Amino acid sequence: MAKSFFRQEALDAATRVDETQRTMRVSTAVTRLSAAALATALAGVVTWSAFVDVPIHVTGHGVLARSGETLISPVRAASSGYVAEVPVKRGDTVAAGDVLLRLSQPERMAALKKAERILEVLSRNAERSETLRAEDAEAESRSHARQLIALGERIEALSSKKRWLDERRTTLEKLHADGIVSLEAVSNARIAADVAEDDLAAARAAQVALDVAREEAASERERAALSTRLELERLQAEVAEIRAGLEAGSTVTADAPGRVIAINTRPGALAAPGQPLLEILVDGTSGVDPDALEAVVFVPLSQGKRLSPDDRALLTPADLPLDRHDRLIARVISISEVPASSQALQ
């Protein structure tokens, strides 16, 4: 074996340098561009996170209200009854005053029929009583006329008799003064004249009493007729009131224009007074300030900490039907500093 001019250590070192060149890799242009793009994307994400809001989902219970107005108007039953007809369906657009539901009220209907029967009987009796009063008044008028004629004749006769007796008494008194007749004859003449005067006064009093009795009878008939008329008017007013109450209670109308979003009853179901039977999403009026719509939301304490004033929010009312995916754009204006307890929420 020939002896090498170079030392073995030098040869080994030269071999290691060649291997180092083979193991080192220099990045290409594509790799450098990819790395630059990734760094730019990371920087953009950091910048975007500093200026863009990240939405969070918060679930809570609350109410929506518009200043001076109602957002969702519940339609309540004014009185109890059974649902007879629901002429509208969910999603229908209604105007104020439109009939939404009709109720059957057997008790009020029975009361109305009873009052109408009583009114009918009283009306017939009133007609008969009026006929009888007219006949009585006519008969009394004829009787009064006859009695008045008889009293007039009696008064005339008594007046003539009294004049004759007065003349006779005067004559006898003169004769007694001349001593022709006795005092007893004069006394008898005076007594007869006084009796005639009393009879004349009694006849005139009977004439006055006859007129008074006629007036009292006429007044009594008028009072009876007035009492009957008042009773008729009372029953007529009662029937009208029952009928109006039946019509008002059996017809449920819309208080405001809008769209029917919920029907909480069905035909044949029992409705109690004040029970919400339907719900209407009230139409917003033109010119209404959108900031007037406010939401008071109660959220858990853990989620409430994530909210801040001036945060933008998208509200999804739970009362809206499932086929509507409407959301309300809102802004957080205030957050209560003291958490509300469950008792306060109730």
Beta-ladder partners of 109 = none
- Specify the pLDDT at position 305: 72
Looking only at the bridges linking them, the beta strands covering 276-282 and 72-76 are: antiparallel
Q: Are 259 and 72 in contact (CB under 8 A)?
A: no
11-44 residue pLDDT tens = 666 666 555 555 555 566 777 777 778 888 888 7
Beta-ladder partners of 76 = 276
144: which DSSP letter?
H
As a whole number of Å, the CA-based R_g of the chain is 56
Whole-number Å distance between alpha carbons of 188 and 183:
9
Phi and psi for 84 in degrees, rounded to 5?
-95, -35
The amino acid at residue 12 is D
Phi and psi for 326 in degrees, rounded to 5?
-75, 145
- Specify the pLDDT at position 53: 62
- Specify the pLDDT at position 236: 93
Which stretches of the chain drop beneath a pLDDT of 50? 1, 285-288, 290, 345-346
Task: Return the residue matching tokens 């017809």.
Answer: 251
- Specify the pLDDT at position 80: 85
In angstroms, the first-to-last Cα distance of the chain is 105
- Specify the pLDDT at position 177: 84
- Specify the pLDDT at position 237: 93
- Specify the pLDDT at position 120: 92
Q: Are 262 and 319 in contact (CB under 8 A)?
A: yes
The two tokens of residue 246 are: 């039946």
- Specify the pLDDT at position 287: 42
Which domains are delineated in the chain?
A: 51-69+284-346 (no CATH), 75-98+254-279 (no CATH), 108-251 (1.10.287)
- Specify the pLDDT at position 1: 46
- Specify the pLDDT at position 193: 87
- Specify the pLDDT at position 285: 45
SS3 state of residue 210: helix
Phi and psi for 317 in degrees, rounded to 5?
-65, 135
- Specify the pLDDT at position 234: 93
Residues in the chain: 346
